[in-house]
Amino acid sequence: MDFDVSSGKLEEQRTGCLVVGVYEGHKLSPAAAQLDAASGRAIQRVVLRGDLDGELGATLLLHDVPNVGSQRVLLVGLGPEADFRETSYRTALSAAMKALRTTGAVDATICLADLPVKGRDSAWKLEQAVLAVTEGVYRFDKLKSKPSPAKRALDKVVLHVAEAAQASTSAGAVHRAIAIAEGVALAKDLGNLPGNICTPAYLADQAREVGKRHGLRLQVLERDDVEELGMGGLLAVARGSCQPPKFIVMEYQGGAPDGQTVVLVGKGITFDAGGISIKPAPEMDEMKFDMCGAASVFGALRAAALMQLSLNVVGIIPATENMPGGNATRPGDVVTTMSGQTVEILDTDSEGRLVLCDALTYAERYRPAAVVDIATLTGEIVAALGDVASGVFSNSDPLAREILEAGDRAWDRAWQMPLWDEYQDALRSNFADFPNIGPGPDSAVTAACFLARFTGRYPWVHLDIAGTASKSGADKGATGRPVALLAHFLAARAETKNSAR
């Protein structure tokens, strides 16, 4: 997909489709008004007939508009002008892409980035437009014997802005958006693969491919290496599977050799049957998404490399299946983690924290300035935040604020949850240092408290993405979140480091 930014007279642009907005009350956006004037009020007449009332997300496709060079004009409803905010903008973009897919246009000019969105600048609007376009054209049909027939693919999009000065200064925003979009697409591809293909060994192979493409240093630790390091948590989860575990370490070295390092840790459970504490059968197929934390680390590293960030970033992925085999860990088993702390495993389906705790201990060797772990960890975070926001837990309020601000800039939002000492009281065991779950119904807070016991030597954030990493139902699939959040976080870290020199 090629992107460009332009300004100037819309009616003179030769393109497959021009996309313009209409507010409720038949009010045309500036771009629509410009076309309307050139066409002798043809657009206004259509709108006043009631063919499009401006309802948010509604669309109307016009052909051969008089005195307009474009083959088509797509009108998109923007809703009430007074209520037009970030969500309205993204809804309008998504609706435009859905309608564009039904046309035969191979190129289009989208005139929505010049709409005023309160509190958001041109760079934000351009980035969201690029991400909406790439989301709209994304397809995962590589495993179908006969992919669904489609019209000619949209392969070029021009983003129209009101002023020529904006067009000349927008290259950075578009480049960053394309880098993020590439990372999101990689994360979605990995997340959408089934467990019989996306095994721990497959993730290791993908790490080698990404490393070769983007110049990353790579280390893949095998079972013997993991045993030598004493990673009892990871080994306990892997015992029930015939697939050998892999401990994947990818290093992007964009900063000075002695510069600060940010570590991203992604949960890589390539399929989660629950182990002996087996999950219910309904929707168990969606447990292939349990490695979306790992996928987001892949995506964030790709975005960092494409943005050429002046920062050192390490991605750590403990990868395994969680299966109920004959050698599987039993409820009540006690294991010793890499940190030396012992854990009584009361629920084998609370396995994500077991693989993460060893990875968080391993991260200490990098003397990290910050560590962020990303995991589809608990269903309880879905009950708390739904599919809108990822949950944030942290032992550092300044780092948590960085993550929250990055999520806001990316519109990949997150919400901070409490991690008070009082919650640690739930983790008590008569037979080990502590159990992997608390009494009664486990919670997202308890899971974060467990992880916090392995993070005392660095600033740390835990992102619970169980509600945001994938969708169910008709739109079933990986979302690629929170790659955009992570990319903005890393970019801000790089900019802050450089400005402090």
**pLDDT at residue 255, rounded to an integer:** 97
Query: What are 398's two structure tokens?
Result: 């300044």
Q: How many other β-carbons are positioned within 10 Å of the β-carbon of residue 102?
A: 11
Superfamily grouping for domain 2-162: Leucine Aminopeptidase, subunit E, domain 1 (3.40.220.10)
Q: Is 188 a catalytic residue?
A: no
Q: What is the mean pLDDT of the chain?
A: 95
Give which of 373, 347, 374 is closest to 438, Cα–Cα. 347
**pLDDT at residue 253, rounded to an integer:** 97
- Measured between its terminal Cα atoms, the distance across the chain in Å is 37
pLDDT tens digits, one per residue of 433-467: 999 999 877 799 999 999 999 999 999 999 999 99
Question: What's the CATH fold of domain 178-499?
Answer: Aminopeptidase (3.40.630)
Give 118's pLDDT tier (boundaries 50, 70, 90): very high
**Residue extents of the structural domains in the chain:** 2-162, 178-499
Give which of 305, 274, 329 is closest to 210, Cα–Cα. 305
Query: What are 33's two structure tokens?
Result: 């008004």
Give 241's pLDDT tier (boundaries 50, 70, 90): very high
**pLDDT at residue 72, rounded to an integer:** 97
Q: How many other β-carbons are positioned within 10 Å of the β-carbon of residue 296?
A: 39
pLDDT of 22 higher than 90: yes
pLDDT of 499 higher than 90: no
Q: How far apart are CA 60 and CA 103, in angstroms?
A: 12
Give 121's pLDDT tier (boundaries 50, 70, 90): very high
- DSSP letter at 51? S
pLDDT of 167 higher than 80: no
pLDDT tens digits, one per residue of 359-400: 999 999 999 999 999 999 999 999 999 999 999 999 999 999
pLDDT of 179 higher than 90: yes
pLDDT of 150 higher than 60: no
Phi and psi, residue 348, nearest 5°: -75, -10
pLDDT tens digits, one per residue of 405-423: 999 999 999 999 999 999 9
**pLDDT at residue 362, rounded to an integer:** 98
pLDDT of 151 higher than 70: no
Determine what percent of the chain is predicted with pLDDT higher than 90. 93
**pLDDT at residue 163, rounded to an integer:** 80
pLDDT of 161 higher than 80: yes
CA dihedral 368, 372, 377, 382 (to 10 degrees): 160
pLDDT of 430 higher than 90: yes
Q: Is 353 a catalytic residue?
A: yes
Give 237's pLDDT tier (boundaries 50, 70, 90): very high
- Marked catalytic residue, from 72, 239, 246, 353: 353
**Range 320-338 average pLDDT:** 97
Distant-in-sequence, close-in-space partners of 53: CB < 8 Å, separation ≥ 6: 24, 26, 77
Q: How far apart are CA 107 and CA 2, in angstroms?
A: 9
Q: How many other β-carbons are positioned within 10 Å of the β-carbon of residue 172?
A: 11
- Marked catalytic residue, from 101, 223, 279, 471: 279
**pLDDT at residue 497, rounded to an integer:** 63
Q: At what angle do helices 292-307 and 483-499 cross, to 10 degrees?
A: 40
